[in-house]
Amino acid sequence: QSALTQPASVSGSPGQSITISCTGTSSDVGSYNLVSWYQQHPGKAPKLLIYEVSKRPPGVSNRFSGSKSGNTASLTISGLQAEDEGDYYCCSYAGGSTLIFGGGTKVTAL
Amino acid sequence: EVQLVESGGGLVQPGGSLRLSCAASGFTFSSYWMHWVRQAPGRGLVWVSRINSDGSSTTYADSVKGRFTISRDNAKNTLHLQMNSLRAEDTAVYYCARVFISGTFDFDYWGQGTLVTVSS
């Protein structure tokens, strides 16, 4: 099964909003409201930002928000900050107790 | 404090075997599903396997099915990944991860990872 499709990179100026897309198929993203998003800084383990499409775990800034339409999920970072730079991965339930990740998006604050 | 500490990585020849371990502490290990996720150098995250809380149910990615076996010892708070018939493409940092809510597939705690290198 191929990875979910994410843009390789997204950039924005500090304070701006950026959106990262995550495109799957009707067998994964399109079939389940079980999309999550992770942030990963170099050399570190990933951090959960969003689960079940749009829910934030305790302690995650409300600058991060998620949504889904059809086979595409999106993560929006509002008020981009330098500390938001890093790699972002979407992840979707794919049925049969399996998961599929996206290829990752590098976020840069210009 | 929740902690997950992987061990067992290293250099292995193609066709060889390794057994990874993940020592858990700071939470009731036996109540949580656990997963393994890997990341090849400079590449993205790839889901590998999951096991339910009592070890009675397991699932694998197609790329490792038949070669890897996930297991757990709830008495020792330890998760394992037995990797056989290793290939160069299995080279990666392997993370163990705890689900955020039992029975779901979102990971709130990850270990620091252990590097597996498959090379002759």
pLDDT digits (tens, 9 = 90+) for A18-65: 999 999 999 999 999 999 999 999 999 999 999 999 999 999 999 999
The Cα A6–Cα B43 span in angstroms is: 13
Average pLDDT over residues B27-31: 95
**Most B CBs within 10 Å: which of A97, A100, A101, A106, as the mutation test of the B interface?**
A97
Query: Which of B57, B61, B108 comes nearest A48 by C-beta?
Result: B108
The Cα B64–Cα A80 span in angstroms is: 38
Average pLDDT over residues B40-49: 96
Confidence at B85, pLDDT banded by 50, 70, 90: very high
User: Strand, helix or coil at B29?
Assistant: helix
| Cβ neighbours of A91 in B, within 8 Å | 45, 47, 105-106
The Cα A36–Cα A33 span in angstroms is: 9
How would you label A27-51 residue by residue, b for 16+ Cβ within 10 Å and e otherwise?
A: ebbbebebbbbbbbeeeebbbbbbb
Residue showing tokens 């991965």: A89
Distance from CA of A85 to the nearest CA of B (A): 16
What's the Cα-to-Cα distance from A106 to each of A84, A103, A109, B45, B84, rounded to whole Å?
10, 10, 10, 13, 33
- What are the structure tokens assigned to B75, written together? 């008495």
Confidence at B40, pLDDT banded by 50, 70, 90: very high
Mean of the per-residue pLDDT values of chain B: 96
For chain B, say whether A104 makes contact (Cβ under 8 Å).
yes
Residue showing tokens 């990585």: B9
Cβ neighbors of B54 (< 8 A, separation 6 or more) are B30, B74
